[in-house]
Amino acid sequence: KFFKLTKNLSLRFKTTMASINEAKQIAAYKAVDDHVKSGQVIGVGSGSTAVLAAQRLAERFKQEKLNIRCVPTSFQARQLIIHHKLPLTDLEIDPIVDITIDGADEVDANLTCIKGGGACLLQEKIVASNSKKLVIIADHTKDSEKLGEKWKKGVPIEVVPMAYVAIKNKIEKTLGGTAELRLAKMKAGPIVTDDGNFILDWKDFDPECNWEKVNNQLLQIPGLIETGLFVNMAVMAYFGMNDGSVKVRI
Ligand code: 5RP
């Protein structure tokens, strides 16, 4: 009986995992197919959904002999571009990006996003802010009405290491909630970002707050480099749904 139960549970787990991955894939593939054209400079996002977009980009690059150049949004994205033998460029060579396709941890009804679950928010935001279009790709679990409804790990905030306690205290005092230093696996010290900084994850914030105002308030704190709040940046979000369809939010 016990064996049957665990087998059923693991089957159910596998089904759920497969459908989340499929949901990521259909969103990623459709966004690449709808938006990428020859002659463009493409911002390549970070995270597991962006991996699938890079895969589709590579397929189309080879099949259609697309003339594209790719700007990475992280070390991971750079590795993906190199792995797929896509043409690598950067903001120094191509300061204007035609379109960036990137994942998100949560997307609300106004296309405000939380990003940085993979600690790449700084370069992601720089590339997105130099892009004509930011298109978000995600599975349906990231689709929410209000930020914080789905993503429970907090808003990632990149900070200068020597200032992390001072910044944590300022955030908690002025905006409430708690800002926790993100630790590496097995708690083996803090996570260090691609740019050598630390991440604070700010949780238990007021879900009714004005995100533009909060983002601006956070950015006033000396030593706080960037936030994972992407306000008025994304023009479109593609959500892969459970039934195999893609929901587009504009
Ligand atoms: C990394 C990010 C990612 O895009 C975000 O965490 C989503 O990742 P995934 O597609 O793996 O769920 O912002 O900093």
| Cα separation, 45 vs 78, whole angstroms | 9
Q: How confident is the model at residue 171 (pLDDT cuts 50, 70, 90)?
A: very high
Is the shortest distance between the CB of 157 and ligand 1 below 6 Å? no
Residue 54 near residue 76, CB atoms below 8 Å: no
Contact between 239 and 229 under an 8 Å Cβ cutoff? The reply is: no
pLDDT of residue 81: 98
User: Looking at this predicted complex, what is its ipTM?
Assistant: 0.98
DSSP state of 20: H
The 10s digit of each residue's pLDDT in 77-133 is: 999 999 999 999 999 999 999 999 999 999 999 999 999 999 999 999 999 999 999
Position 216 confidence tier, pLDDT thresholds 50, 70, 90: very high
pLDDT of residue 10: 43
What is the overall mean pLDDT for the chain? 93
Cβ atoms 81, 46 nearer than 8 A:
no
Whether the CB-CB separation of 127 and 81 falls below 8 Å is answered with: no
- Do residues 158 and 122 make contact, with C-beta atoms less than 8 angstroms apart? yes
pLDDT of residue 2: 45
Percentage of residues in the chain with pLDDT exceeding 90? 89
Active-site entry in 22, 64, 92, 124: 124
Given the CA of residue 48, which atom of ligand 1 is nearest to it?
11
Distance 203 CA to ligand 1 centre (A): 18
- Give the span between the Cα atoms of 133 and 150, in whole angstroms: 25
Burial label for 202, CB within 10 Å (0-12, 13-18, 19+), is buried
In the structure, what pLDDT confidence band is assigned to residue 18 with cuts at 50, 70 and 90?
low
d(C-alpha 122, C-alpha 63), whole Å: 33
CA terminus-to-terminus distance, the chain: 49
Quote the CA–CA distance of 35 and 16 in Å, as a whole number: 29
Note if 124 is an active site residue: yes
What would the two tokens of residue 203 be? 């949780």
